[in-house]
A and B are shown apart, each in its own frame.
Chain A
Amino acid sequence: MAVRPATIAVPARAHPTFAPWTAVARFVRKKPLGAAGGALMLLMLVTALFADILQTHDPIATNAAYTLGRPNLEHLLGTDHLGRDIYSRIVHGARVSLVVGVASTLLGSVLGGIVGLLSGYVGGKTDLITQRVLDILQGLPLLVLALVMSAALGPSVQNVVIAISIPIVPRAARVIRASVLSIREMQYIEAARSLGVQHLRIAFRHILPNTIGPFIVLCTAQLGSAILVEATLSYLGLGVPEPYPSWGRMLSVSAAEYAQKAPHLVLFPGLAISLAVFASNLLGDALRDTLDPRLRGS
């Protein structure tokens, strides 16, 4: 008996093209607060990129003739105890904050992501031991761990990034592992395995791309806390060393001493930190609601 091919209706375009602008517009409409956070982050990025153009003074040039100056047209946000222009320092501080924040978040999340991917995919004893080790790392308070690490490694931008990234590793590993565990059981993975695809290839080619949603959510959520930890370390004198202007160090002991005479010394850098962390928290919350419905509201 001859088999006659059946005629079936197929949609003209099986895969509608992904339109990023529509997605962005939708996000703005649905999550106005998250979009506001995103806009603020964008502003911070632009500030960091064009700090050299946006500055009105050299951020590290001191001016003995004009110390603790009140905000005026010449010095938009006043000057500090060494006569350095606070506005220019904050503009450059955005660069330090963003570079350290993004670098440590990415480093921690990627390391943790790989650990979580392998631990979740391999399972069994490996998974169990990995989880216990992560428990140990996660049990120590984030700041205490970062503090000890950055003190142990010594002051440099690189070491601060490493110190902040290590506490992120267990958190990232947890999130990615949870999502790997559910993807691992899916049929297309079984199909890939039955085709004889190598384990590593399955893990990195077939599972990893599907964890991108939780990964983005994780990164945005951690970015805020990374910026905060950087500011705290710098405040305590264990963070980004001179001469880089860091928001946290602008608030350190020397600023506190002059706080009463010149409140702007304390107010503006703190506002910058708060705003940056606030923005990334807003964006993170909204992204989580949009990309990862399972975590909604938590």
Chain B
Amino acid sequence: MKTYIVQRLAIALLTLLGMSIVIFALLRLAPGDIVDILFSTAGYISDSEKQAIMKELGIDRPYVVQYLDWLHQIVTGDLGKSYRYDLPAWEVIRPLVPVTLELAALSMIFAVLMGVPTGVVSAVRQDTALDYALRVFSLAGLSMPAFWLGMVIILGLVSWFAWIPPITYVSPAKDLKLHAIQFLLPALAVGYRSSALIMRITRSSLLEVMREDYIRTAWAKGQTGRIVIWRHALKNALLPVVTVIGIEFAFLIGGLVVTETVFNLPGVARFLVQAILWRDYPVVQNLVMFTAIVVILSNLIVDMLYGVLDPRVRYGG
């Protein structure tokens, strides 16, 4: 058990190191840099001035030095300075984190609450009209762009209820009810999409388990359908579902990028888009790295959960 965890952690660290190289390299592919962008708004600035700014920002140094410097910063917890805001990157990001976390958590809750029950119903009523309807419903969730769904929700509210959702961020301390509404709608838009994947995997995994002998035994003992399905079958069927929920976290972040933009929520994801457009290397680098860490962590947690949920996987291999 202990060696297993150590092994997994070592792999996770190596993967993160690799990711940091990929992220760093990708950003250096960019044709322009922050200095060019700042200049294009400020008009002409002489070459010597440009050199001075580049030196100040530290982007005149060789890439290897810049990369090692960045790694050192990550390890020491110093995230560097945002070129654009002239503030420490962490100070720019910090107030945005709770918004995104809240939205992500709410979306995930929506996704599980919608996905698992519909998946179960769909599997139990396999090949009925209800099954087809639920499958089409979930496939529709996979097909609609999250930002469009968000726009349609806002549009619907405005035209049917003549109610305009708050355009600026409302803090929970100021008005809890308004804050809740402000978050529930985008969470619904993001969660619907994730619920589709969860529904599909729940359905297929439950169908597979239902064919097994021990389920037939349970039926033969005369147990009611509800107990067989929810107690015996679902317990084993949930294993792949947990995996998907872990993977889903990565997709969720993608969904948040656009949803935060549509609903005008000051979260990390929306900020990422702006930082990318500004080529604000420290901020983008650190945000994408942050995403990578979240993804790796959620995968790690899923792996650990496996052992808890399935006694057969007690970290043997």
Contact = CB atoms under 8 A, between A and B. Distances in A.
Instruction: Indicate whether A and B interact.
Output: yes
B251 A133 contact: no
B147 interface: yes
Contact of B145 (A154, A235, A297): A235
Interface in B108-150: 132, 136, 139-140, 142-145, 147-148
Contacts of A132: 14-15, 18
Contacts of A270: 144-145, 148, 151-152
The contact size tier of chain B is 35 or more
A94 interface: no
B26 interface: yes
Interface in A151-171: 151-154
Interface stretch (A20-28, A56-64, A277-285): A277-285
Contacts of A274: 140, 143-145, 148
Contacts of B151: 251, 256, 259, 266, 270
* SS of B interface (majority): helix
B142 A277 contact: yes
B31 interface: yes
Contacts of B147: 232, 235, 251
A251 B250 CA distance: 25
B272 interface: yes
A141 B254 contact: yes
A149 interface: yes
B295 A141 contact: yes
Contact of A140 (B29, B140, B291): B291
B22 A140 contact: yes
Interface residues of A, number: 46
A141 B258 contact: no
A136 B295 CA distance: 11
Interface in B164-210: 201, 203-204, 207-208
B277 interface: yes
Closest 7 CB pairs of A and B: A143-B254, A270-B148, A297-B204, A278-B143, A277-B143, A136-B18, A152-B29
Interface of A: 33, 132-133, 135-137, 139-144, 147-149, 151-154, 224, 228, 231-232, 235-238, 248, 251, 256, 259-260, 263, 266-267, 270, 273-275, 277-278, 281-282, 285, 297-298
